[in-house]
Structure 1
Amino acid sequence: MLELVKAGGWPMIPLLLLSAIALAIIAERAWTLRRKVVLPPALGKEVRTWAAGGKLDPAHIESLRSNSPLGELLAAALDVRHRPRDLIRERIEDVGRHLVHRMERYLNTLGTISAAGPLLGLFGTVVGMIQMFLGILDHGIGDVTQLAGGIGKALVCTAAGMIVAIPALMAHRWFRGRISEYIVAMEHEAIQLLDVIEPHAAVRPVAPAPAPVAKKTA
């Protein structure tokens, strides 16, 4: 393995750095986006039971907010539970956008690595080929075996770029799909909670129609 890295030359250094960064991001996101961390089992049902029983003191809501992303979303709905339904939905959507942004942390970097890896590998190959042909220009073709070996060494960077990019791309797609799945599940839990607290939500007042002015009789 070390020989292949040496054969690739200095362009292998950024590829190794990218592979280390990609591995760190994949490990961190896999740990952070565990299902039981984002969507604790039975949490939605427990919160709906609280809401139906009226056990919604501020301490309960704050503990729920720090529980998980799902808990933070449900706590945001409970904070404005006495407001009209459309205002509660707006609050849920606002908090949901922040949660999605937080769950997608580092994914843009991972996507960039998956795109830049093959390009860096190709760059390393081009550099190696240029060096090889400059050597041919100075010293002639010489042994064909050495020429083939030089081409093989130049292609090491291309292979390394693909090795870095393919896992990064797969992980990036997988995390995106997992986050989308979480979003759908969180929306479902929020709607169920909204149906429970709706009887307690205020109804937006409708402006009364102006009373008709009585005509004066002569």
Structure 2
Amino acid sequence: MLEIYSAGGILMYPILLCSIAVVAISIERFWTLNSQKIAPRHQLGEVWNWLQKNQLDAEKLKQLRQSSKLGRILAAGLSNSRHGRDVMKDSIQEAANQVIHDMERYLGALGTIAAIAPLLGLLGTVIGMINVFTALNLEGTGNAGALAGGISEALITTAAGLCVAIPAMIAHRFFVRRVDTLVVTMEQEAVKLVDALHNDRRVDVKVA
């Protein structure tokens, strides 16, 4: 394996760094974008229980804000609920924008790696073919080792770039989809809270 890596030339180093970044980002995002950490199933019910028992105070709001991303959004809405429905919705939207930004962290880098890894491989291919033609010009077709080395470098970097890009693209789309799903879930929970507090329509809030 080390011999194959060495035969790929200098562009194998950035490709290797890209592969390490893909693994690190994927593990971090998989751990971070856990639905039970982001939007616990019974959190809205717990909040509604506090409201019904008149237990919601500054300490509860602080606890709610620190408990999860959904809790942060709900706490922002509850903090401004007395100012009316529109102000409450604006507060929820502002908090949601910050939460979504946090959830999308590193996904841009993952998408960038998926785009540039094949280009690095292609660049390695071009450099390898340049080496082949240089060897042909200088030594003719008699030096099979030089020709084989250039062709090997071209093929290895191409394969390495694709081996990094394909998993990176899969991971990027997977995590983007997960973020979208979590955003929809949090939006639904926030709407339930707004409607329940301002009684615009009957809302079924499940209490944990």
Q: Does TM-score exceed 0.5, indicating one fold? A: yes
Confirm or deny that 1:182 pairs with 2:182: yes
Give how far 1:128 is off: 1.0
1:4 is matched with 4
Letter in 1 for 2:171: A
Confirm or deny that 1:172 pairs with 2:172: yes
Higher helix proportion (structure 1 or 2): 2
Letter in 2 for 1:172: H
Residues 51 and 197, structure 1, Cα contact 8 Å, conserved in 2? no
Give how far 1:152 is off: 3.5
Give how far 1:10 is off: 0.8
1:207 is matched with none
Gaps in structure 1 of 5+ consecutive residues:
200-218
1:155 is matched with 155
CA RMSD of aligned residues (A): 1.6
Letter in 1 for 2:52: A
CA separation in 1, counterparts of 2:119 and 2:28? 25
2:193 is matched with 193
Letter in 2 for 1:186: M
Letter in 2 for 1:142: G
For residues 162-199 of structure 1, what are the alpha-carbon distances to aligned partners after superposition, in whole Å with 9 as ceiling and x for unaligned? 11111111111111110010010001111111122215
Letter in 2 for 1:23: V
Q: Write out aligned runs for 1:54-203 (5 A).
A: 54-142=54-142, 147=147, 150-199=150-199
CA separation in 1, counterparts of 2:158 and 2:81? 57
Letter in 1 for 2:194: L
1:208 is matched with none
Letter in 1 for 2:195: D
Confirm or deny that 1:45 pairs with 2:68: no
Residues 51 and 196, structure 1, Cα contact 8 Å, conserved in 2? no
Gaps in structure 2 of 5+ consecutive residues:
200-208
Residues 44 and 189, structure 1, Cα contact 8 Å, conserved in 2? yes
Mark the structure with the bigger radius of gyration: 1
Residues 52 and 197, structure 1, Cα contact 8 Å, conserved in 2? no
Residues 74 and 190, structure 1, Cα contact 8 Å, conserved in 2? yes
Deviates more, 1:95-104 or 1:139-148: 139-148
Give how far 1:144 is off: 6.2
1:26 is matched with 26
SS class of match (2:82): coil
Aligned length: 199
**TM-score with structure 2 length normalisation?**
0.91
**TM-score with structure 1 length normalisation?**
0.87
Give how far 1:41 is off: 2.4
Give how far 1:42 is off: 0.9
Give how far 1:125 is off: 1.0
Identity rate, percent: 45
